[in-house]
Copies of this chain bind each other. A is one copy, B any other.
Amino acid sequence: MPRELPEYHQRVADQNRAAILAAAEALFLDGGYDRTSLARVAENAGVSKATLFKQFPTKASLFEATVLAVGRAPDGVVAAPPPGDLHAGLMALGREYATVLTRPGTAELIRLVIAEAPRFAELRERTFDFGTLPALAALGRYLRAERDAGLVTVDSPETSAAQFLGMIASAVFWPRLVHAGWSIDEEETHRAIEEAVRTMVARLAHTSATPRSGGVGSRGRP
């Protein structure tokens, strides 16, 4: 009995799987986990419930696959600007971070992850990287480069990076989660980033009186 590879079926299955994931993404992001019925997912995907259950044996598995697929999608790595101009470099990285945070769907995704994190262990491990971890890494690399170039005094690049991103996120992102319909216009976003840059520049240009360099806020993965 040859275990032949029916390529056609595989192709159709992949197509359906993609359709299911797309429909599930829209519905999960809109209504949350419990409010989303599998019948509606199948209907919006244009497939039947049996097909759905062939691909994802349980609702939880569909949910995890959906969230991971959405989280994997965005940009992989952020390019660090060349050192030499601290203000310009921080502005560029801050802008990029704010762009990721205010992208449509980001707030809904994070809301979903926060809501269901206690129930899904698999998610807790892998989801912080979505927007913050790459930005944190890029910012750390950039600050290290500036320091190696002898242009700034930074005790712990990780701590400074966490502070910088924290200031931006608190201004442009977190209120959106609590207030739902909240939004901030382009000019206010720009001003928030600029103020964060000013504060960081003040800190990094200031001569360091720190006795030791301790890392904090970079514990994205235990």
Binding site for B on A (CB under 8 A): 32-35, 110-111, 113-115, 117-118, 124, 127-128, 156, 159-160, 162-163, 165-171, 174-175, 177-181, 184, 188, 191-192, 195-196, 198-200, 202-203, 205-206, 210, 214, 216-217, 219-220
Contacts of A33 in B (CB 8 A): 34
Q: Across the two chains, which residue of chain B brings its CB closest to A200?
A: B199
Q: Is the interface of A mostly helix, strand, loop or mixed?
A: helix
Per assembly, the copies of the chain total 2
Q: B118 touching A170 by the CB < 8 A rule?
A: no
With A171-B216, A192-B216, A216-B188 as known contacts, state yes or no: A114 contacts B115, CB within 8 Å.
Answer: yes
Which listed residue (B165, B210, B219) contacts A170, Cβ 8 A? B165
With A124-B178, A216-B195 as known contacts, state yes or no: A114 contacts B117, CB within 8 Å.
Answer: no
Q: B128 touching A171 by the CB < 8 A rule?
A: no
Contacts of A160 in B (CB 8 A): 199
Q: Across the two chains, which residue of chain B brings its CB closest to A177?
A: B114
